[in-house]
Amino acid sequence: MDIVELTVTALAERVRGRQLSAVEVAQAYLARIAELEPTLHAFITVDAEGALAAARALDLRLARGEDVGPLAGVPIALKDIFVTQGLRTTCGSRILADWVPPYEGTPSARLRAAGAVVLGKANMDEFAMGSSNENSAFGVCRNPWDVDRVPGGSSGGSAAAVAGRLCLGALGTDTGGSIRQPAALCGVVGIKPTYGRVSRYGVIAFASSLDQVGPIARTTEDAAALLEVIAGHDPLDATSLPQPVGRYREACRRGVRGLRIGVPAEYFAAGLDPEIETAVRAAIDQLAAQGAEVVDISLPHTKYAIATYYLLCTAEASSNLARYDGVRFGLRAARPRDLRDLYSRTRHDGFGPEVRRRIILGTFALSAGYYDAYYAKGQRVRTLIRQDFSRAFERCDVIVVSTLPIMVFKLGERLDDSLQMYLADIYTISCNLAGLPGLSLPCGFSRQGLPIGLQVLGPPLGEEQVFAVAGSYEQAHDWHRRVPEVRR
């Protein structure tokens, strides 16, 4: 038995049944990390000591006959955006390079309470701003399928760690595709749940009205198991939803018979890589063969999604990132001349170029005299995009499209062209603007052996339907069983 090839449910069952100790599991994964981390750099911080201590504590409790939870011994990587008490949390930024948080956020606390073991903090684009993980202040992360290529972003480290078997599951955040896009590029499963489904308390904010936490895992059922633990109302997050959590694992086996799958013309337009289109259309055919009904739908305001998204997310970010001022925590410029100098040097030295660019854009969009033309108009277009989806979901139960229009690109290839980088988010962004659940799972490999992602979108709180479609597709394929051979 290869420990690192066990699924979440299988591993937790063995640990709970004491056929396998949590310490053995942690050691097996820490060995993988020791071997591959120097190449992949999927982590900003590896907490071997903390992981082993947590695993030992679990084993002790199990020995006493205690129930340690449904994720007993499951080794997890947390994107370094999750606030972990006593464990450095950088958000991929120099400005928080030495920040050791005084409190624990809700998603990671729920994972720990369910028996999961945190191996470390995953690499990411600074403040979750980026689609390639190249904006990390701690060095680039590499794609396990081809180490010359990006793992995607911003949750690139989380996806690469899952794909490379450096952890069994990971948490990411998704503001415009930051879970689904790297999941697609690394050949793993990632879900961004409905806005408000998972608490954002203790998740460093990028764009508050768009940010959402979700799991990245190797299979849909693993992702479902993690989501069942982290989802649910949190009194510490006023935007978290009160509705009961769905039965996601069970939904994975529900099948698609009678489900209506919407296929929007706007997502199969010019710019879509033909190899990807072929894979996605084959997946839709596959679902139809499994009993789903395919309907053509239209999402007419899709073309405005990117502009709208970049207006709103930069505006919110400009405000969310104001607290990094060198006064209470994080980097502080040495020997400032005066208050203004303290602010400008701390923030100039602490933030990377992409973060600075977005703060400036967002500050402009909210300025007196521009608010109506930019932010207010962006909000109105957002409403139109949301209406597109509610109309579409009158005719279908889920929407199936590609996760990305392009294949995974090489490190450095798009670094100098922000606009090209932004445009690649076209298929993932609308889902955040509308607050919908969206899942990406592998649906094949290119001729070059690069993973292709299939995206399933659902109506608000339609996670079960999304898992049903993803689970059904996955059963007929073995894409998720392929293991990347990491070549140094």
Partner 1 sequence: MTMAMTMAKTMAKTMAKTMAKTPWEVVIGLEVHVQLATQTKLFCGCSTQFGAPPNTNVCAVCSGQPGVLPVLNAQAITFALKLGLATGGTIRRRSRFARKNYFYPDLPKGYQISQYDEPLVEGGAVEIWYEGQPRSIGLTRIHLEEDAGKNVHLATGAASLVDLNRAGVPLIEVVSEPALRAPEEAAEYMRTLRGIVRALGICDGNLEQGSLRCDANISLRPWGQQALGTKVEVKNINSFRFVQKALEYEIERQGGLLTRGQTIQQETRQWNAEGGRTESMRSKEEAHDYRYFPEPDLPPVMIEEGLIDAVRAALPELPLQRRQRLMEQDGLSEYDATELTRESELTDYYSRAVAAGALPKRVANWMLTELLSRVTDARDVAQAPVAPAGLAELLGLLESGKVSGKLAKEIWAKMWDSGRTALQIATEGGLFQQSDSGAIEQAVRAVVDAHPDRVADYRAGKTKLMGWFVGQVMQATQGKANPQLVNTLLTQLLDG
Q: Catalytic positions, please?
A: 79, 154, 178
Judged by CB under 8 A, the stretch of 89-97, 142-150, 254-262, 268-276 that binds partner 1 is 89-97
Judged by CB under 8 A, the stretch of 1-9, 29-37, 151-159, 315-323 that binds partner 1 is 315-323
Establish if 460 lies at the interface with partner 1 (CB under 8 A): no
Closer to partner 1 by CB, 199 or 428: give it: 199
Restricted to residues 319-348, the positions that interact with partner 1 (CB under 8 A) are: 319, 321-325, 327-329, 339, 343
Establish if 377 lies at the interface with partner 1 (CB under 8 A): no
| Smallest distance from partner 1 to CB 337, Å | 14
Establish if 105 lies at the interface with partner 1 (CB under 8 A): yes
257: exposed, middle or buried (Cβ count in 10 Å: 0-12, 13-18, 19+): exposed
Judged by CB under 8 A, the stretch of 55-63, 179-187, 314-322, 401-409 that binds partner 1 is 314-322
| Smallest distance from partner 1 to CB 236, Å | 6
Restricted to residues 167-226, the positions that interact with partner 1 (CB under 8 A) are: 200-205, 207-209
| Smallest distance from partner 1 to CB 316, Å | 6
Judged by CB under 8 A, the stretch of 59-67, 98-106, 392-400, 431-439 that binds partner 1 is 98-106
| Smallest distance from partner 1 to CB 232, Å | 16
| Smallest distance from partner 1 to CB 285, Å | 40
Establish if 239 lies at the interface with partner 1 (CB under 8 A): yes
Closer to partner 1 by CB, 83 or 116: give it: 83
Establish if 91 lies at the interface with partner 1 (CB under 8 A): yes
| Smallest distance from partner 1 to CB 172, Å | 15
- Could you count the other beta carbons within 10 Å of the beta carbon of residue 287? 24
Establish if 89 lies at the interface with partner 1 (CB under 8 A): yes
Reply yes or no: is the peptide bond before residue 131 cis, omega within 30 of 0: no
- Could you count the other beta carbons within 10 Å of the beta carbon of residue 370? 13
User: Residues in contact with partner 1, total (CB under 8 A)?
Assistant: 44
Establish if 35 lies at the interface with partner 1 (CB under 8 A): no
- List interacting residues with partner 1 (CB under 8 A): 82-83, 89, 91, 96, 99, 101-103, 105, 200-205, 207-209, 235-239, 315-316, 318-319, 321-325, 327-329, 339, 343, 363, 366-368, 371, 375
